[in-house]
Structure 1
Amino acid sequence: MPFKKLHSDINEMLEFLEITTPTPFQSASIPVIKSGANIYCVAPEGSGKTTTLILTTLQKLKCEAVGTAPRAIVLVEDRNKAAEMYDAFTKYIRHHDLRLYNCDEKLHIDVIKSEVFEGVDILISTPKILNKLFLLEGVNTMQLKIFSMDDAAFLEQKTAHNAMMLMTQSIQKCQFVMYSEKMHPFLKRFENYFMKHAKVISVKGA
């Protein structure tokens, strides 16, 4: 069964990449993410979580650049994960005008702030750098539509957890999607904060 009801540009890119059939996890999760609800997406490695994150982000942004403020944020554990996510996104948006930005920790925070200010649609960052941007008022969240957390087990770390709690307090009307291999108890506790009324999509096999 092919991917259903995705933006025509996404379907064209899937065809170009010869991705024709969604995984069981993608079939279960993509329609629910498209609904706009806060969601915990739980599935083992190899289930297609990263591709799901990319496709639903592009769908949410309608594959077009708008304004200057980020409309999607992707939070990752570290600099290496950020680079991997950037490369994964690039495969899907290379022929579009969507502006993708990786907040590389090797850059000075003032450089990152100025480059984000020039205009970004999708922002990829670690908690450390994103929190610095928030504290410096270097990222405008007024247009933010979707905030995704990749392999969210890293949020158990105290510094990442605290940064996440501080950042989400200032975000209004945004969909939060948390991806993880397991439904860790500490992740469920976020329901009391920014993951309100969250649904759980759990697929055991890849």
Structure 2
Amino acid sequence: MSFKKLIEPLKDALKAQGIEIPNALQTKVLSKIKSGANLFIIAPKNAGKTTTLVISVINKLKEAFEDAPRALIFVKDKQAALELADLFNLYKRGTDLRVYCAYEEHNLELQREELYLGTDIVIASPKRLNRIFYLNGINLNKLQMCIVEDAEFLFRNNNFAEVTRTPESIGKCQYLVFSDHFDNRFERWEESFMFLAQKVIIK
């Protein structure tokens, strides 16, 4: 997929950063993500996985809509959440998409209040997201995309189990997992909510 098929504000934002043609990973996966396929996207560091994630979410959501989030992105911690939010803010210029970060170091009640005001994209650590959800602090009924960035962190501190709980509580949605390598434990997801998921591997 070429950048010609992206929404205009996103093309302008990419061009402002000197990015005018997709790299190898983006060429291979952007059209698959746009089609709604569930994907394990396996590529080495510096292959452009995070930028590909951001481009895909912005291009799919396009503009702000209602109050409930339509994209949920799991990250390992506060620093990862804030860094990803910065990248979203860079590339969503020209759109009115709203991005919110939820992580343990922030006041829980305040996060619930802020989420109630409305957002399109939530970037969250797994434990904090689940705590907010089970306190009825976030509505996931409108979710279109559920994504894991840099999925290696899942296999520490019970994060794999925390992320696995989320699909049990939401309806049909697209799942994307970005990782440096395919871990055999992902096969559990292939047997459930990521049934028939495609693997895209860049070496």
Taking the TM superposition and a 5 Å limit, the aligned residue runs for 1:51-62 are 51-62=51-62
Instruction: State how far apart, in whole Å, the 1-side matches of 2:94 and 2:30 are.
Output: 23
Answering whether residue 33 of structure 2 is matched by residue 23 of structure 1, we say no
Counterpart mapping for 1:97-176 below 5 A:
97-157=96-156, 159-176=158-175
The alpha carbon displacement at 1:202 in A equals 0.4
**Normalization by structure 1: what TM-score?**
0.94
Q: Secondary structure at the match of 2:3?
A: coil
Q: In the alignment, residue 9 of structure 2 is paired with which amino acid? A: D
Q: Say whether residues 1:12 and 2:24 are aligned partners.
A: no
Residue 184 (str. 1) matches residue 151 (str. 2): no
Distance 1:8 1:187 in 2: 36
Give CA-to-partner distance per residue, 1:61-80, whole Å, 9 cap, x none.
02x10000000011101111
Number of aligned residue pairs: give it.
203
Q: Which runs of 5+ in 1 are unaligned?
A: none
Equivalents in 1 of 2:150, 2:97: separation in Å?
24
Name 2:192's counterpart in structure 1. Answer: 193
Structure 1 counterpart of 2:75, which letter? V
CA contact (8 A) 1:60 1:146 kept: no
Q: What residue identity is the alignment partner of 1:132?
A: R
Residue aligning to 1:39: 39
Moved more, 182-191 or 153-162: 153-162
> CA 1:2–1:198 in structure 2 vs 1: closer, same or farther (change >3 Å)?
closer
Cα RMSD (Å): 1.4
TM-score when scaled to structure 2? 0.95
Deviations 1:106-127 (A, max 9, x none): 2111110110010000000000
Alignment partner of 1:200: what SS?
Answer: strand
CA distance in structure 2 between the partners assigned to 1:161 and 1:58 by the alignment: 26
Q: Tell me the percent identity.
A: 37
For residue 169 of structure 2, give the secondary structure of its aligned residue in structure 1.
coil
Q: SS at the partner of 1:97?
A: coil
